[in-house]
Structure 1
């Protein structure tokens, strides 16, 4: 773990751009959003060319120690994705995407774990913040790339996955294998992971991971687009631009996390993020004009970018190194549970009520969670 001081007992706080670990982690992170945003714009074309139903096409975005996981995952993610560019039958494409999704999940977990292993204190928050910024930037750009390539051929976007191969080679050459990585993954290990965080910490951090993704995917990525269409009759391209704005806002706030952590605890930052999200949801409910609704949507992305780096920093700080990967895996599981439930929950509850009242209720839930996070984060 990087614990070098500046000669006065203080840990460094800047971004160590010269670190091979930082370079590999950020390059791996920028690949992770390729799994869905790159392919989503191509789904209508894939549906038409392969004579699929909408439901069948949508299945192509469903997804099912550190160094030894990251490197094979990079190779698998790249080669499997690029294989679809050869134009195999639909069932082969679907099978490949299932396996590729497993590799993508490994990328999400191992990159954050490597940061937690290598850095500590404010520098850990700083690097985690930049990592989330890179993730959000990729998610904002890839739909444009995927849409442009899909105009050439339905399978052209899949060739982009080959960019992961040089990253895998770089990781193999420069990435160290942290001490303690060979902890056996047994039932007793899982029990230790479950108990690695105190109950209050686990409730605050895992609960935050679930709720922030539930609100983001349910409101910003589902309810708001329907509201933009139904109320303002915006075309799909402009709705996409508004959604992209949430990613841009998250890039800004996540990149600032290191500066925030110099003055505020991780729990305080998480609480502030929920406050921003809650305010954005209430503003989206109230929004008398399109401009106000767009600004409120940007606030949702800003809140998400505020919360996520401090979530990962909190989990990393709260567990021993040998249990960190397992604890972050649990964090990732709660994240994807929230992502899966959000769109379904919001579209189910909206029947007969409209989206604006639902946004108000969601905003109230986010604001109510602010004191919960602060209370659970209190020491003693």
Structure 2
């Protein structure tokens, strides 16, 4: 299937009308991908995929008291959710290459919804941490499978646009659910977990409606040790650099998510509802950033420069957020963090899908997502440790601000360098993998 002839029509086949015109202005000439029913199911799943972090992040400080734990320890609710992905995502991704995307996606959504909603039934912090681990395991069958499925359907600029549209759906979800969570936690601290029930009907839709983009047999493509196999791609140093670089934006984003409520609440005097609005604004920025990925890939010859620049934008926003002295500044810099994150993450995901053919794509995408989850998991643990060590020396506020600022500076430098290497990996992959579409 070529990028020009994939589902939804040709590369520039958007029909007329105000809606089509708006989509073209937002996403570019490939925006007609939204007419494909299979892609629409992927968009529905994309609304669910970010809820594991967006529902819990803005209410973390509000949960510390009811659960009887410190602000630093309540961050385990974020780490517990991301931890299973480090090991499980590559296995689940390889499984989806063999048995198909649909059963893995449906099962992941069901576990995600049931485990997440069950947290509303207990007040035991240890039980909630365990349920978050199970919910994180469910996520391993959602996010990476959605990303790989887009790569199955499209290629080239069309694939990049589709990833941007999908991430816009993620961003809109991120803009809505933090606000709902912030409002619900004020009424009863367990209510935000009930929002995860939304995953159950989506799992049913996947089972009933989703048309499998591809089903790569175990014997397809090169042999298990060949250059085009998963392990063959992992032996390429530039591919490894691209996968490691994928972790940096996730680290910076989770640094923001973990301390968004602390900065806006404890340091700036905002309520949980205000924290939800700030996270929602950052998420809206991420949605808008993701819409421009198709245009960026069309405007540049390679992926390196866009990856480096948007990584710097994310780091600049995080630094500004860490130094914010008012809620207005915090809100503005949060939007910058989101815009940078949404763009660079979508670019990375589009880049990684172009580094393997259909027989290894699910596995390689899943390895990238696993590395990304490693960054997500490490952020609350690393920053929490630094703040805990620094607080007795310079005070809690100074320790928090210096930690966030240092994270932003170091993350920008490392992320920009790895982004340039990732761009080289994508160029070296050549037209045989990306521009001609799945094989």
TM range (shorter): 0.7 to 0.9
Note if contact 2:57-2:257 (Cα within 8 Å) is conserved in structure 1.
no
Q: Paired residue for 1:363, among 409, 418, 426?
A: 409
TM-aligned CA deviation for residue 295 of structure 1: 3.0
The residue number in structure 1 matching 2:105 is: 70
Note if contact 1:287-1:293 (Cα within 8 Å) is conserved in structure 2.
yes
TM-aligned CA deviation for residue 251 of structure 1: 1.1
Taking the TM superposition and a 5 Å limit, the aligned residue runs for 1:1-380 are 1=1, 3-5=3-5, 11-12=11-12, 13-39=30-56, 53=69, 61=78, 62-63=80-81, 64=84, 65=96, 66-83=101-118, 95-151=130-186, 153=188, 155-183=190-218, 192-196=229-233, 199-218=236-255, 220-222=256-258, 226=262, 232-264=268-300, 265-281=302-318, 283=320, 291-350=328-387, 351=390, 352=393, 354=398, 355-358=400-403, 359=405, 362-363=408-409, 365-367=411-413, 369-375=415-421, 377-378=423-424, 379=427
Note if contact 1:11-1:121 (Cα within 8 Å) is conserved in structure 2.
no
Task: Return the TM-score normalized by structure 2.
Answer: 0.72
Change in 2 beyond 3 A, CA 1:369/1:335: closer
TM-aligned CA deviation for residue 334 of structure 1: 1.3
**Could you list the per-position Cα deviations for residues 200-259 of structure 1 after superposition, in whole angstroms to 9, with x for gaps in the alignment?**
4324422221111222222x3346665556764444443443333221211111112112
Note if contact 1:277-1:363 (Cα within 8 Å) is conserved in structure 2.
no
Q: In 2, Cα distance between the equivalents of 1:53 and 1:289?
A: 27
Measured on the aligned residues, the alpha-carbon RMSD in Å equals: 3.8
Task: Return the TM-score normalized by structure 1.
Answer: 0.81
TM-aligned CA deviation for residue 377 of structure 1: 2.7
The residue matched to 1:106 in structure 2 has which SS?
Answer: coil
More deviation, 305-314/353-362: 353-362
TM-aligned CA deviation for residue 346 of structure 1: 2.9
Q: In 2, Cα distance between the equivalents of 1:232 and 1:147?
A: 17
Note if contact 1:193-1:323 (Cα within 8 Å) is conserved in structure 2.
yes
Count of aligned pairs: 374
Change in 2 beyond 3 A, CA 1:143/1:322: same
Change in 2 beyond 3 A, CA 1:176/1:182: farther
More deviation, 70-79/298-307: 70-79
**Could you list the per-position Cα deviations for residues 17-55 of structure 1 after superposition, in whole angstroms to 9, with x for gaps in the alignment?**
221221111111111233243345666887777x65458
Note if contact 1:223-1:346 (Cα within 8 Å) is conserved in structure 2.
no
Q: In 2, Cα distance between the equivalents of 1:92 and 1:235?
A: 27
The residue number in structure 1 matching 2:16 is: none
Change in 2 beyond 3 A, CA 1:128/1:292: same
Change in 2 beyond 3 A, CA 1:284/1:165: closer
TM-aligned CA deviation for residue 315 of structure 1: 0.8
Q: In 1, Cα distance between the equivalents of 2:319 and 2:56?
A: 32
Change in 2 beyond 3 A, CA 1:89/1:227: closer
More deviation, 296-305/169-178: 169-178
Change in 2 beyond 3 A, CA 1:216/1:179: closer
Note if contact 1:209-1:311 (Cα within 8 Å) is conserved in structure 2.
yes
TM-aligned CA deviation for residue 95 of structure 1: 4.7
Note if contact 1:129-1:256 (Cα within 8 Å) is conserved in structure 2.
yes
Gaps of 5+ in 1: none
**Could you list the per-position Cα deviations for residues 80-118 of structure 1 after superposition, in whole angstroms to 9, with x for gaps in the alignment?**
444556669877665544333211221111111111111
Q: In 1, Cα distance between the equivalents of 2:193 and 2:266?
A: 33
Gaps of 5+ in 2: 13-29, 85-95, 429-439
